[in-house]
Structure 1
Amino acid sequence: MHIAQVAPLTEAVPPKLYGGTERVVHWLTEELVALGHDVTLFASGDSRTSGTLEPMWPKALRLDGSIRDPNALHMMMLERVRQRAAEFDFLHFHLDYYPFSLFSRQPTPFVTTLHGR
């Protein structure tokens, strides 16, 4: 399967220190690749993966003092995923409720993991 993993941009995947969600995304992505799946990780550019990295911003937003509104960058990332959605068999979001309204209207199956709830 060709799977998209869509991570928060707050921390790198895997995180260097804090970042429970990003750590889970890393473990899941690496295991899916090990099982033979073609995985694309949408994340910050300082992320590392055995799959294909689709960098959405050069580094984790927490480390970039120039960012005033991280929501805008997450919306831009969702738009990029939407544009490429037909390339994937499955989309897995780790972005809270953000994807629901946009992705419920397109045919690619998706799931959202609500971390920390």
Structure 2
Amino acid sequence: MSAENGGPAGQMILLNGASSSGKSSLARAVQAVIERPFWHISIDHLRDSGVLPSARIKSGEFAWRAMREPFFIGFETSLLAYLRAGNNLIVEHIMESEAWLHRLVGILAGQDVFFVGVHCDL
């Protein structure tokens, strides 16, 4: 698929695994040696950058339960925009359910995505 800028669409390496399974370490290691520029994107990066009104969620002023699904759908849809613009991505994600996986597969249909399952001992 061509990128919207006329060049090739980006490629994605999607790291799926439980919290603290090593996704961030793996993403940084891959980013350090891969032959082309790849962005490293994660929900944690958004949270830590202040995108979410975390203090107001923690105080109960805003209900995370109501914000959660639109947040994840927005995050996943933004990945498609990055790819279509020609950006290569290493994405950390947690597929909490089969429905989430099917939704993401639908959003990214036709894109060059390499799914990686990250497993760790408990």
TM-score where L is the length of structure 2:
0.52
Give a deviation string over 1:22-66, Cα, whole Å, max 9, x none.
55221111111232463321323344xxxxxxx693377xx9332
Equivalent positions of 1:61-72 (< 5 A) are: 64-65=57-58, 66=62, 67-69=64-66, 70-72=68-70
2:45 equivalent to 1:40: no
Cα distance in 2, alignment partners of residues 79 and 25 from structure 1: 21
Cα distance in 2, alignment partners of residues 6 and 33 from structure 1: 13
Determine the structure 1 residue equivalent to 2:111: 107
TM-score where L is the length of structure 1:
0.53
Equivalent positions of 1:30-109 (< 5 A) are: 30-36=28-34, 38-44=38-44, 45-47=46-48, 57-58=51-52, 64-65=57-58, 66=62, 67-69=64-66, 70-86=68-84, 87-89=86-88, 92=91, 94-96=93-95, 97=101, 98-103=103-108, 105-109=109-113
Cα distance in 1, alignment partners of residues 50 and 115 from structure 2: 20
Report which of the two has the higher share of helix. 2
The Cα RMSD (Å) is: 4.0
**What is the percent sequence identity of the aligned residues?**
6
Spell out structure 1 runs of 4+ moving beyond 4 A: 1-8, 89-93
Higher relative contact order (CA 8 A, sep 6+): 2
Q: How many residues align?
A: 96
Contact 1:94–1:114 under 8 Å retained in 2: no
